[in-house]
Structures are given as C-alpha cells and as structure tokens.
Amino acid sequence: MAGGRYGPQLLALLAAWVAAVAATAGPEQAALPAEQSRVQPMTASNWTLVMEGEWMLKFYAPWCPSCQQTDSEWETFAKNGEMLQISVGKVDVIQEPGLSGRFFVTTLPAFFHAKDGIFRRYRGPGIFEDLQNYILEKKWQSVEPLTGWKSPASLTMSGMAGLFSISGKIWHLHNYFTVTLGIPAWCSYVFFVIATLVLAFYGIFLFLPSTEQNGRSEEAHRAEQLQDAEEEKDDSNEEENKDSLVDDEEEKEDLGDEDEAEEEEEEEDNLAAGVDEERSEANDQGPPGEDSVTREEVEPEEAEEGISEKPCPADTEVVEDSLRQRKSQHADKGL
C-alpha cells in the first residue's frame, strides 16, 4: 500500500531531477567552442600569400545557393590540407570586389589553383574527392595557366581590381540609400548619374588646361628652335662675310705687292736704261783723231768738264744699293 501510494510521487521527483539535469547541461553544451575552420579568408591585404607555395581558392557570395552547397565539401578539403601539403582559402566577392576583379570572376562559385605564383582555373565540381584527386594526381599540370595580362599579378588585372572595388563601393552606397534610408531606387540612380556627369566634366576641365599648356609649351619650343636656327644662319652669314672680307683684303694686298713689284722693276729698267744712255752718249762724243787731240789741246778745261760728266762707278754702286734695299723691303712685306 505504501509503495503504491508513494510510487507516482517518486516518478514525478525523478522526472523533475532529469529535467533539471538537462537544463543545466544545455548551457554547458552551448558554451562549447565550435570547431575552428581550416579555410583561410583572403582579402586585398593578404592575397599575395598565394604567390608562394600551393593554394586552392574559392570565390563565393553568401546569397549564392551553389556556393552554400559546396561549403561542407570545401571545409573537408581544408581539413586534409596538411596531408595534401596545400593551403585552402576563400574570398567573399561581396566584401572583396577588388580581389574578384583581379581574378576576373564572372561566375559563382569559382575555383583557382595556384602553384608558385602561376594560376590555373579549376572547372571541376567542388566535391572533396574530385578536389583531392586534382591535387594528388597533379591534374593541374594539364590545364593551361593564366599568363600575360590575364595573370592576377599583372598590371592589367591590378587596374581591373580598382574598377571592381569602385563598383563595389557604389553598390554598397546604393544599398545604403535604398535599404537603410528608404530612398526610392530611381532617386539613387539619378544621384549616381549626376555624380558621374559631374566627375566627367571635372575631368574635362582638368584635362583642357593641361592640353593648352602642352600646346603653348610646344609652340614656345618651336619658336625657340626657329630662333636658334635663324641665329645660326646669321652667325654663318657673318662668318662667310668675314671670310670674304679677309679674302678680299688678302687679294688687295697681293695685287698691291704685285703693283709695287712691277713699279720697282720699271724703275730698275728706267735706271738701267738711263745708265746705258749716258754711257752711249759718252762714247758718241766723237771718234778718236785729230779733232779730239786739237780739242783737248785747245780746250783742256772743256775736256775736263766732259770727263767729269761721264758716269762714275760710285753712281752705279748707289743705284745698286737702292735696288737691293727695295728688294729687301718687298721681301719683308711678303713675309
């Protein structure tokens, strides 16, 4: 009787105790930390890590259903990364639009393989077994790598990253206008159109003065070149004129020297002719005979005067000395 009376009470107490234990165990289980993910998030600041070693990257978006279906497979692949000697990363294209532009991601999910800075696109399914075989069997060697301007490290893709980052900022701003502030979408579009036009006109106004300055500088440079060419022509003309004047003076001096030489020769000829005439006159005064004897006897004084009029050797020596002096002067002038 006693056991049947207290039996339901004991069962109620046991149920309350079990409920209390379950209530206390629930928060403890909830407080246990979740298993840490082996997938490394990649951003614009640390993406250069994939330039060294071997990597597999996944580009995804939180709202993409296909990306969500491959999340568990990607986590399993990352857990076996140490065994495969590979690093596993993921890129959120919403948070990192510039990085998606660098890899030129147009479809989601997108997978890439990187080996020592050489990138290849993985186009297989995002299943763990396929990913594991892709690494173990080195199937990536048969895939053509991204080279030239398509490489994420190229200058072209860096510019593409900048464009994608700007578009991402515009998209975030559009969501802020439409979702947070409640502005109609068409008002946001009008705002962006006006901002684009303002920036375009601002760029034009900045570009035009620079082109005008460049044109002016080119014109000034051309004017300087023309001025320099004219100065060179003037200098060359002056030099030619100087050379011609010098040549004319030299010709005049040569002509003057020739004239002086001719005059001296004429003077010498005249002097020689005068000496010959004097000698001939002296010889022609009369033949030797009686007349000369009687003339000498009758007029001894006149004979003495005639003898004095004959040319003396001293006069010829003076003439020769004068000729020598003129020749020496002419020679000095020639030097």
Taking the model in full, what pTM does it have? 0.48
Mention the CATH class of domain 40-148. alpha beta
312 is annotated as an active-site residue: no
The catalytically annotated residue of 67, 88, 105, 160 is 67
The answer to whether 102 and 47 have CB atoms below 8 angstroms apart is yes
For 199-232, the pLDDT digits (tens) are 777 667 666 665 666 666 677 777 778 888 877 7
Band of pLDDT at residue 171, cut at 50, 70 and 90: confident
67 is annotated as an active-site residue: yes
Break the chain down into helix, strand, coil percent, rounded to 5: 70, 10, 20
Task: Kindly tell me the burial class for residue 211, based on how many C-beta atoms sit within 10 Å of its own C-beta (0-12, 13-18, 19 or more).
Answer: exposed
Q: What percent of the chain has pLDDT over 90?
A: 27
The pLDDT value given to residue 190:
83
Query: Which tokens is 26 given?
Result: 């629930």
Contacts of 130 by beta carbon, 8 Å cutoff, 6+ apart: 124
Band of pLDDT at residue 271, cut at 50, 70 and 90: low
The answer to whether 167 and 117 have CB atoms below 8 angstroms apart is no
Residues 35-44: what's their mean pLDDT? Answer: 87
The catalytically annotated residue of 64, 84, 170, 261 is 64
Query: Which tokens is 208 given?
Result: 């035009």
> What contacts 24+ positions apart, CB below 8 Å, involve 303-309?
309/282
The pLDDT value given to residue 36:
78
Omega into 62 within 30° of 0, i.e. cis? no
